[in-house]
């Protein structure tokens, strides 16, 4: 479109501050911002309303004067272009645009794929040289459906920083490339620990270049979760061994991915396209002021993220940005899945296009997200990628806050208890979790605590969990809500809670360190807390060896038995039968008729969240006892003929029979 048309559109912004942007042309080419070929180095910046644009060249990533400033000329579809007839590998650059008569601050752009210290300057590097040996044949694990995955959410620094980890590259991508690491007692840590535990995928907290940790002063600087995006398409510098070397962060992240893949573990990236760390001085604002964000009628930033702004996925260039960015991570870094932060800030159409684009690259890639916002948005509810709208996004899954809050108690009240800690009245909501939020003839959704209808079209659309990086993690929640209990009693409650999660229909998700009963010293929002709060103390693996063994066997049970991993609503309705029970904090059900091709004819699961033993009647038969009284073994603890059986307090009884 012409500049005249843009100016006319801007004139309407008094009524709707975002009206102008709907008329912006978009550019979806893969050559955005930087390409290097045999003819030289080329830039193409999308900035439809700019009055002029320029590229500024630097010899290093910081503290040096520009070597050249190159004016850009208008290109197609709102872009500005410049070229030099030389491959400028090793150089750095920024863009600046003339906006309303003023040159804006320099920016590395929105498509910087390599950056120097703190991401302020984009780098020109040879990506072919960043690939580890064997990268061409590198593949993540094959899975048929998302619910074949067992997801382990981890932060690079939590996982390796503690002295007890025995890991050399503490807090770095490379931590996950070190085999053979152990704690002081000789027990596996690091990647060997993950293999021993049996999880199929790690979900790494934000690993793109984020804003808050000063990469120029790493020893004195600590910690951040990383939900403050700065450069979406380059890895975070503080996780590399040398933030000033733009290739190092790329290579080391790829080495991490390859190491996990070589050990059969997939990598899910936490992506945060819903907001940026900065407002007027974000890379979005400095390349196309206003365009990438939603605004209130008074022109201020709307804030559905609770972080000061929200992006506008319904606008074509923003939508394409999200789609092209995840495609880039999938292709360049072989990422196996994506977790969308505050996904409901994005629109449904964007999420469906994201899923389609990723499945085209690799059908095993899966997508899930938080089906909620952190504040109100100008985006109409019917268009939001909400949990309640997930049936309209068939290839997307959402976190089940239903099962989370029902099992352990509500997240907003530390002392509140849940089903697994003895609070009655949550049985029906736990059952919603057990059936993966699908329609089931024996589940009354009107009694659900959060959602009042079966929002999932299939169990593959739900992520089941009781704890994650947000809010009180399970150990801390149990300490605060069971103040008079012993640690042994809390550990029992944790086992019961995770047994419900890992046996439910849907995809199970656990938070790193829960398996050794780590805590975060009661800090619920530890996003910038020091290592003393966040780092996992691996000596706990020794102290809580029984807990670790339980988790490992529980994961093994799930992976060996497809009955826990049904893929359709109809299958769940036909093969999952609840038993009538009259007491509170008791749920009993069976997976029947070799569900989903299982070798077991019937699996009986009874959950007792009370602190009293409960009697149940089990049909006569040749049963193998899989779990009982806080113990579990996938191959069986003992045998039973059924009849009257006792379910110990705060524990699961699981039985299986082959005929
Ligand atoms: Ca950074």
370 is catalytic: yes
> Annotated catalytic, 341?
yes
- Residue 545 phi/psi, 5° resolution? -55, -35
Q: How far is CA 436 from CA 91, 153, 460, in A?
A: 52, 20, 8
Tell me the per-residue pLDDT of 164-216, one tens digit each, with 9 for 90 and over: 999 999 999 999 999 999 999 999 999 999 999 999 999 999 999 999 999 99
Cα-flanking dihedrals φ and ψ of residue 251, to 5°?
A: -60, -45
Q: Distance, CA 213 to ligand 1 centroid (Å)?
A: 6
CA of 502 to the centre of ligand 1 (A): 35
Distances (CA, A) of 65 to 92, 93, 164, 529: 11, 11, 44, 36
Q: Is 76 exposed, middle or buried (0-12, 13-18, 19+ CB in 10 A)?
A: exposed
Tell me, what's the pLDDT at 5? 41
Give start-end residues of each CATH 2.60.40.1180 domain in the chain: 576-657
**49 phi and psi angles, rounded to 5 deg:** -95, 0
Spatial distance between the Cα atoms of 227 and 31, rounded to a whole number of angstroms: 27
The CA 313 to ligand 1 mean position distance, Å, reads 24
- Higher pLDDT residue, 240 or 222? 240
> Torsion angle of alpha carbons 130, 134, 136, 142, nearest 10°?
-120
Q: Work out the average pLDDT over 278-292.
A: 97
What percent of the chain clears pLDDT 70, i.e. is strictly above it?
98
Which of the four pLDDT bands, split at 50, 70 and 90, describes residue 2?
Answer: very low
Residue 239, pLDDT > 50, answer yes
Give the closest residue to 521 by CA, choosing from 511, 510, 534.
534
Residue 528 and residue 128: Cα distance in Å, rounded? 35
Rounded mean pLDDT of 140-154? 97
**Euclidean distance between CA atoms 425 and 435, whole angstroms:** 18
Ligand 1 centroid to Cα of residue 106, in Å, is 17
Secondary structure element (H or E) that encloses residue 588, with its range? strand 586-591
Which alpha helices (H) appear in 363-507, and where do they start and end? 401-408, 427-434, 474-481, 487-503
Q: What is the pLDDT of residue 22?
A: 87
CA–centroid distance, 603 to ligand 1, in Å, is: 49
**What's the pLDDT tens digit per position in 296-323?**
999 999 999 999 999 999 999 999 999 9
Handedness of CA 524, 530, 536, 542 (dihedral sign): negative
Q: Is the alpha carbon torsion for 168, 174, 178, 181 positive or negative?
A: positive
pLDDT band at 4 (very low <50, low <70, confident <90, very high): very low
pLDDT, position 535 = 97
The alpha carbon of 576 and the centre of ligand 1 are apart by a number of angstroms equal to 47
Catalytic residue, chosen from 153, 341, 388, 628, is: 341
What is the full DSSP assignment across 347-385? BHHHHHHHHHHHHHH-TT-EEEE--S-SS--SS-GGGB-
pLDDT at 230 over 90: yes
CA dihedral over 615, 618, 622, 623, signed as positive or negative? negative
Give the contacts of 417 (CB within 8 A, at least 6 positions apart).
Answer: 408, 409, 423, 481, 482
Q: Which two tokens stand for residue 138?
A: 């590198």
Rounded Cα distance between 37 and 85, Å, is 9
**Going by DSSP bridges, is the β-strand pair 208-210/643-647 parallel, antiparallel, or unpaired?**
unpaired
Contacts of 247 (CB under 8 A, 6+ apart): 114, 123, 125, 129, 130
- Flag whether pLDDT at 484 surpasses 80: yes
CB atoms within 10 A of CB 64: 11
Ligand 1 mean position, distance from CA 203 (Å): 19
Compute, in angstroms, the gap from residue 515 CA to the centroid of ligand 1: 30
Q: Where in the chain is the domain with CATH 2.60.40.10?
A: 31-130
Average pLDDT, the chain: 96
Helix, strand, coil content of the chain in percent (nearest 5): 30, 20, 45
Question: How many angstroms does the Cα of residue 208 sit away from the middle of ligand 1?
Answer: 8
Closest CA to 270 of 355, 321, 191, 337: 337
What is the mean pLDDT of the segment spanning 112-135? 97
pLDDT of residue 7: 41
The Å distance, Cα 70 to ligand 1 centre, comes to 27
Residue 221, pLDDT > 90, answer no
Q: How far is the CA of 120 from the centre of ligand 1 (A)?
A: 9
The DSSP secondary-structure symbol of 295 reads B
pLDDT of residue 15: 65
CA of 214 to the centre of ligand 1 (A): 7
Give the C-alpha separation, 610 to 422, whole Å. Answer: 5
**Can you give the pLDDT at residue 562?**
98
Closest CA to 275 of 297, 298, 300, 308: 308
Q: Considering the domain 31-130 in this protein, what is its CATH number?
A: 2.60.40.10
pLDDT for position 9: 42
pLDDT in tens, 345-401: 999 999 999 999 999 999 999 999 999 999 999 999 999 999 999 999 999 999 999
pLDDT confidence of residue 416: 98
In the three-class reduction of DSSP (H, G, I as helix; E, B as strand; rest coil), residue 602 is classed as: strand
Residue 162 CA to ligand 1 centre (angstroms):
22
pLDDT above 70: residue 3: no
Q: Give CA–CA dist 124/115, Å, rounded.
A: 8
Reference 590, options 572, 576, 609; nearest CA is 576
**Distance of alpha carbon 546 from alpha carbon 161, whole angstroms:** 24
What's the pLDDT band for 1 if we cut at 50, 70, 90?
very low
Give me the pLDDT at residue 17, please: 84
What does the alpha-carbon distance between residue 463 and residue 505 come to, in Å, rounded to a whole number?
A: 9
Q: What is the pLDDT of residue 11?
A: 42
- The one catalytic residue among 18, 270, 370, 476: 370
- What whole-number distance in Å separates Cα of residue 395 and Cα of residue 358? 10
C-alpha angle 622-624-629 in degrees, rounded to nearest 5: 130
Q: Does the pLDDT value for residue 10 go beyond 80?
A: no
What is the predicted pLDDT for the residue at 8?
41
Centre of ligand 1 from the C-alpha of residue 641, in Å: 60
Distance CA 371, CA 463 (A): 11
* Helix pair angle (401-408, 487-503), 10° resolution: 150
The two structure tokens encoding residue 290:
């206003």
Taking residues 619-626, report their average pLDDT: 98
Fold of 576-657: Immunoglobulin-like (2.60.40)
| Pairing relationship of beta strands 623-628 and 651-657 according to DSSP bridges | antiparallel
pLDDT band of 441, cuts 50, 70, 90? very high
Whether the predicted pLDDT of 131 surpasses 80: yes
Q: How far is the CA of 402 from the centre of ligand 1 (A)?
A: 34
> What is the C-alpha separation between 84 and 413, in angstroms, rounded?
60
Quick one: CA dihedral 640, 642, 646, 648, positive or negative?
Answer: positive
pLDDT in tens, 452-464: 999 999 999 999 9
Residue bearing tokens 């159409």: 349
Q: Residues 554-585, buried b or exposed e (16+ Cβ, 10 A)?
A: bbbbbbebbbbbbbebebbbebbbbbebeeeb
């Amino acid at each position: 479109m012409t500049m005249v048309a843009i100016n006319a559109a801007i004139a309407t912004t008094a009524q709707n501050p975002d009206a102008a942007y709907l008329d912006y042309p978009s550019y979806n080419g893969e050559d955005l911002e930087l390409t290097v070929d045999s003819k030289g180095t080329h830039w193409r910046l999308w900035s439809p309303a700019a009055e002029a644009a320029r590229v500024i060249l630097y010899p290093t990533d910081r503290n040096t004067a520009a070597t050249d400033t190159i004016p850009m000329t208008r290109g197609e579809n709102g872009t500005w272009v410049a070229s030099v007839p030389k491959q400028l590998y090793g150089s750095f650059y920024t863009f600046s645009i003339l906006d309303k008569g003023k040159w804006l601050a320099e920016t590395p752009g929105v498509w910087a794929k390599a950056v120097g210290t703190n991401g302020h300057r984009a780098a020109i590097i040879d990506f072919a040289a960043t690939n580890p040996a064997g990268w061409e044949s590198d593949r993540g694990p094959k899975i048929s459906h998302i619910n074949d995955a067992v997801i382990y959410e981890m932060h690079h620094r939590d996982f390796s920083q503690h002295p007890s980890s025995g890991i050399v590259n503490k807090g770095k991508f490379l931590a996950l490339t070190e085999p053979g690491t152990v704690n002081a007692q000789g027990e596996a840590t690091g990647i060997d620990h993950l293999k021993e535990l049996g999880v199929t995928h790690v979900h790494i907290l934000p690993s793109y270049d984020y804003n808050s940790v000063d990469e120029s002063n790493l020893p004195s600087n600590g910690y951040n979760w990383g939900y403050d995006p700065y450069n979406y398409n380059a890895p975070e510098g503080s996780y590399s061994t040398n933030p000033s070397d733009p290739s190092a962060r790329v290579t080391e992240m790829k080495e991490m991915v390859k190491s996990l893949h070589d050990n059969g573990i997939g990598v899910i990236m936490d992506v945060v396209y819903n907001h940026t760390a900065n407002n007027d001085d974000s890379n979005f604002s400095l390349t196309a002021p206003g365009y990438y964000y939603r605004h209130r009628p008074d022109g201020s930033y709307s804030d559905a993220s609770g972080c000061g702004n929200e992006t506008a996925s319904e606008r074509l260039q923003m939508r394409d940005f999200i789609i092209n960015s995840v495609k880039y991570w999938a292709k360049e870094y072989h990422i196996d899945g994506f977790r969308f932060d505050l996904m409901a800030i994005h629109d449904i159409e964007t999420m469906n296009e994201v899923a389609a684009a990723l499945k085209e690259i690799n059908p095993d890639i899966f997508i899930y997200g938080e089906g909620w916002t952190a504040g109100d948005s100008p985006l109409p509810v019917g268009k939001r990628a909400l949990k309640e709208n997930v049936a309209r996004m068939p290839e997307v899954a959402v976190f089940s806050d239903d099962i989370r809050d029902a099992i352990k108690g509500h997240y907003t009240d530390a002392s509140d208890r849940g089903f697994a800690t003895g609070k009655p009245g949550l049985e029906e909501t736990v059952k919603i979790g057990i059936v993966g939020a699908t329609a089931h003839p024996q589940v009354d959704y009107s009694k659900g605590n959060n959602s009042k209808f079966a929002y999932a079209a299939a169990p593959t659309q739900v992520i089941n969990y009781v704890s994650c990086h947000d809010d009180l993690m399970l150990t801390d929640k149990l300490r605060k809500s069971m103040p008079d209990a012993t640690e042994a009693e809390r550990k029992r409650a944790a086992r019961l809670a995770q047994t419900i999660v890992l046996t439910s229909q849907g995809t199970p998700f656990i938070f790193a360190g829960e398996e050794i009963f780590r805590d975060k010293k009661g800090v619920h929002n530890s996003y910038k807390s020091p290592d003393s709060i966040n780092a996992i103390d691996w000596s706990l693996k020794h102290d809580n060896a029984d807990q670790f063994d339980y988790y490992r066997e529980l994961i093994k049970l799930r992976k060996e038995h497809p009955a826990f991993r049904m893929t359709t609503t109809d299958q769940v309705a036909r093969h999952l039968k609840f038993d009538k029970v009259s007491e509170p904090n008791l749920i009993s059900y069976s997976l029947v008729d070799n569900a989903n091709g299982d070798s077991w004819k019937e699996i009986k699961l009874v959950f007792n969240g009370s602190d009293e033993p409960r009697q149940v009647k089990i049909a006569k038969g040749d049963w193998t006892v899989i779990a009982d009284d806080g113990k579990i073994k996938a191959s069986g603890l003992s045998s039973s003929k059924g009849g009257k059986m006792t379910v110990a307090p705060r524990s699961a009884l699981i039985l299986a029979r082959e005929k």
